[in-house]
Amino acid sequence: MELSDERVLEELSLSGVSSSLISLADVVRKQSVGEFVYFRGLIEISNICNKNCFYCGLRKDNLNLKRYAMTEDEAVEIAVSMYRSGLTSLALQSGEVKSDRWVEKLVSIVRRIKEETKKIDIESGKEPEGAGITASFGELEKEHYEELFKAGAHRYLLRIESSNRELFYKLHPEDSNHSYENRIKCLEWLKEIGYQVGTGVLIGVPGQTEKDLLNDIRFFQSFDVDMVGMGPYIEHRNTPLYVWHRKEIESKGFYRRAYELTIKMIAITRIIMEDINMVASTALQSVPGCENSLEMGIIAGANVVMPTFTPPDVKSSYNIYNKRRNLSLKEMVERIEKAGYTPVLDRWGDPKHFLKRE
Ligand code: 5AD
Ligand code: SF4
């Protein structure tokens, strides 16, 4: 359902979240994608990153972080045991390393996961479909995306972070390694190759206006994406963005605003884009001072959650922002059911938006 620019701006500028907006989003959600919430088991393969995004704790210049990269066997083993336990869709994530050698390893992981999980299907007398695989490894070469797709990844997440070019360069250094145009080009390649494509933005970052957020939604629409993942900005103390804007970030109401804007952005995006998949992100679940943000995200229209299956010994090193809260699969299932929605673990849950376009 279309909403005018004026209406969107009015909702975003309001202090608080209007219950009529949330109710409308929930009606649209139930009509278009139902009461289901799909799970993606998240495996954070490596925290090594060659980028220097000003807001993120994994940035290359953060020397205070223990870096790790799983072996192929480790990653495949986690995926296979997840699949055996009945969770059939997974998401592989890492910092960005644009090298043939690194991508070869990722391709091999994807291929092996696909093969192993198909074997499990055959053992249990099912059609060999294997795991649904979402990849999120940042900006790579087109050939890399093609190889990953051929190996069996069929969804790719690459957030634009902000569709406002000027703000993009306040969040990223303006150098050859951080290019707004290249990010757009990557999104176009992913679409051409045939991936289900997801993008998204950071919400509540210093310098961002309601108008920027409206334009972000218009960007999702014009790009006709299948999936959206948005989350509030959360501080990481060892990053330039925090140091530059410390006063604002520590001011009263900063996180409340980021949280409320995220909930409103989810609701408005659900109303306007109806049948896409949208995640209640880990950042949303981690927003300081808010205990029921998972439920609020779901009620506002999110229909995907991503519990992490990264082993505890390395999980703490995937420190994108401080005080990350990781709910277990069990906890998520219980809370989603309690809120009146239906958790789905044993189906891929592809975005209807993509299936309709095919
Ligand atoms: N707060 C919230 N989200 C962040 N990300 C990176 N740093 C932060 C932060 N400080 C998000 C980015 C990126 C994803 C891997 O994590 O949007 O796309
Ligand atoms: Fe690297 Fe992604 Fe963090 Fe940027 S946001 S520093 S690309 S992990």
ipTM above 0.90, yes or no: yes
Question: Which pLDDT does position 316 carry in this prediction?
Answer: 83
Domain ranges in the chain are 5-346
Whole-number Å distance, alpha carbon 19 to ligand 2 midpoint, is 35
Per-residue pLDDT tens digits of the chain, which is 358 residues long: 999 999 999 999 999 999 999 999 999 999 999 999 999 999 999 999 999 999 999 999 999 999 999 999 999 999 999 999 999 999 999 999 999 999 999 999 999 999 999 999 999 999 999 999 999 999 999 999 999 999 999 999 999 999 999 999 999 999 989 999 999 999 999 999 999 999 999 999 999 999 999 999 999 999 999 999 999 999 999 999 999 999 999 999 999 999 999 999 999 999 999 999 999 999 999 999 899 999 999 999 999 999 999 998 888 889 999 988 999 999 999 999 999 999 999 999 999 999 887 6
Q: Which tokens in the block code for residue 81?
A: 């045991």
Whole-number Å distance, alpha carbon 201 to ligand 2 midpoint, is 13
Residue from 59, 183, 318 whose mutation best tests the ligand 2 pocket (most atoms within 8 A of CB):
59
Q: Which tokens in the block code for residue 353?
A: 């938006």
CA atoms within 13 A on the CB side of 276: 29
In ligand 1, the atom with minimum distance to the C-alpha of 202 is 17
- ∠ CA 201-152-331, nearest 5°, is 55
Question: Which pLDDT does position 84 carry in this prediction?
Answer: 96
Residue 190, C-beta contacts closer than 8 angstroms, at least 6 positions apart: 145, 156, 158, 197
CATH ID of 5-346, from 3.40.190.10, 2.120.10.30, 3.20.20.70, 3.30.565.10:
3.20.20.70
Question: Which pLDDT does position 358 carry in this prediction?
Answer: 66
Residue from 65, 96, 158, 186 whose mutation best tests the ligand 2 pocket (most atoms within 8 A of CB):
96
Between CA 227 and CA 275 the distance in angstroms is: 9
